[in-house]
Amino acid sequence: MYFYAARQPILDAEKNLFAYELLFRDGVDNVFPGIDEDEATTRIIEGSQFNLGLAHLTGNKPAFINFTLDTILKNYPAMLPPETLVVEILETVTPGKKLLASVIELKKQGYVIALDDYEHKPVWRHFFPYVDIIKIDLRAMSFEEVEQVMTELAEFKHINYLAEKVETLAEFNQCKKMGFKYFQGYFFSKPEMVKTKTLSPSQLTLSELLAETSSTDIDLPKVTQIFERDINLSYKLLRYSNSATFKRRADISTIKQAIVALGKYELKKFLSLLFTASVSDEKPQELLRLAMVRARFCENLAEINEDGDASMAFLTGMLSLIDAILDEDIATVMEQLPLSLEIKEALVNKKGKLATYLQLAMTYERGLWEQESALETSLKLSDEQVPAIYANAIDWSNEQISSINS
């Protein structure tokens, strides 16, 4: 038995990570519609509690999990601690006395209650004293309708609003102005405005190093010289090469030693991670985390397929959000970076094996199970491999984020 799930980030108004919504994937049919909602909820609870643990999937952030009427009446939320869970009542649930009694009991136990894809109906008024979060789908309701709902519910000041499917900066700003507290969607991974962002000298140096290490044969003296021009980069390289990850028997004390000890593969990973982290310092950290998950995911796929240089797959995933990070069109960014044609083809034209790896990562993280299943089949991957690769990518990104923040 295997546990399959993806996660979608939920951010606050400052674009800080607040929680994740967990999305179920059916490992047998590969497509969500092949299983009913009750079983989907049950499998999410079972998997997160007994297989991986919520901390693994959410990094100790709250988990939004969908619950049907039947799973709420059976008190399934109680299988998870209140501080780890937001009980999300599905939009398909019909409000009634039994549901209200269960919601009141869950509130007494300390659970946070959310209404998913809210449709305004008078009968929900009985629930509002116990509801903490109302999720509103921006694709299903106009801003005028949203404003009307918020006006009618104004007396329930404890209720916070979460905007779903926020896809542009304009929508994000409009929702903030209206009083939304939480946001879910792809807005944080798209360019926020069209402008040119100048790279700092250190970022330009990293770009130069990425170009040098992308060649078949690394010019060791030249790479060493580039590092030595930047004290900060030299320090980070020495610290990284001496880290516990590599279990060195002796300390590394020079730039040349560090480069040789790491090798081309690890050096390229280190540089791509450092570059993305340095240019995303003013962006939501979840943007960097997502890029890192994609990078590790693509790298592992390349290793399984024994298909060329896995570090190129890693760099493709790492740079897949560079347009959002630099507020530039992806084609414009690629013109400025001295990268291989294969990586540029994957990121700009969505062509090639690297593009397929990246597309699989993106469909999995978004819970687009039909597309994910087709890509999984095209790469000749088993049902068990992709969730395992995804879980490994999350673990690795969490470790790297902790290292960056320390």
Domain-ending residue, one of 167, 189, 211: 189
Name 391's Cβ contacts closer than 8 Å, sequence gap at least 6. 52, 56
Which of 62-66, 124-128, 330-334 has maximum average pLDDT? 124-128
Least confident span in 21-25, 235-239, 331-335: 21-25
How many structural domains compose the chain?
2
Residues 231 and 322 in one domain: yes
Q: Give the residue with greater pLDDT, 93 vs 280.
A: 93
Residues 146 and 255 in one domain: no
Which of 37-41, 178-182, 207-211, 229-233 has maximum average pLDDT? 178-182
Residues 27 and 164 in one domain: yes
Q: What is the pLDDT of residues 340-350, one digit of tens each?
A: 889 899 999 99
| pLDDT at residue 208 in the model | 73
Residues 284 and 183 in one domain: no
Q: What is the pLDDT of residues 261-286, one digit of tens each?
A: 888 778 877 887 777 777 776 677 78
Residues 183 and 205 in one domain: no
Q: What is the pLDDT of residues 1-48, one digit of tens each?
A: 344 567 889 999 998 899 998 876 544 333 333 445 555 555 555 544
| pLDDT at residue 25 in the model | 55
Task: Indicate the DSSP class of residue 63.
Answer: E
Strand partners, 22: 7
Evaluate whether 42 touches 80 at the Cβ level (below 8 Å).
no
Average pLDDT of the segment spanning 81-109: 92
**Is 194 inside any structural domain?**
no
Q: Is 41 exposed, middle or buried (0-12, 13-18, 19+ CB in 10 A)?
A: buried
**317: domain CATH number?**
1.10.3210.10
Residues 149 and 214 in one domain: no
Residues 211 and 157 in one domain: no
| pLDDT at residue 115 in the model | 95
Residue 139 in tokens? 């694709």
Residues 150 and 174 in one domain: yes
Asked if residue 191 has pLDDT above 80, the reply is: no
**Is 195 inside any structural domain?**
no
Q: Provide φ and ψ at 34, rounded to 5°.
A: -75, 5
Domain-ending residue, one of 136, 169, 189: 189
Question: The pTM is what?
Answer: 0.74
- Own/partner contacts of 374-377, CB < 8 Å, gap of 24 or more, are 376/30
Residue 267 in tokens? 């050096």
**Is 196 inside any structural domain?**
no
Name 55's Cβ contacts closer than 8 Å, sequence gap at least 6. none
Residues 360 and 212 in one domain: yes
CB burial of 149-176 (b: ≥16 within 10 Å; e: otherwise) equals: bbeebeeeeebbbbbbbbeeeebbebbe
**Is 330 inside any structural domain?**
yes
CA distance 226 to 356: 34
**Is 72 inside any structural domain?**
yes
Residues 206 and 184 in one domain: no
Least confident span in 32-36, 93-97, 310-314: 32-36
Domain-ending residue, one of 189, 209, 237: 189
Average pLDDT of the segment spanning 187-196: 56
- How does residue 379 score in pLDDT terms, banded at 50, 70 and 90? very high
| β pairing state of 182-184 and 5-12 | antiparallel
Which range of residues forms the domain containing residue 399? 201-405
- How does residue 200 score in pLDDT terms, banded at 50, 70 and 90? low
Residues 22 and 162 in one domain: yes
CA distance 313 to 296: 8
**90: domain CATH number?**
3.20.20.450
Q: Provide φ and ψ at 347, rounded to 5°.
A: -80, -35
Residues 208 and 338 in one domain: yes
C-alpha 41, offset from chain centre: 21
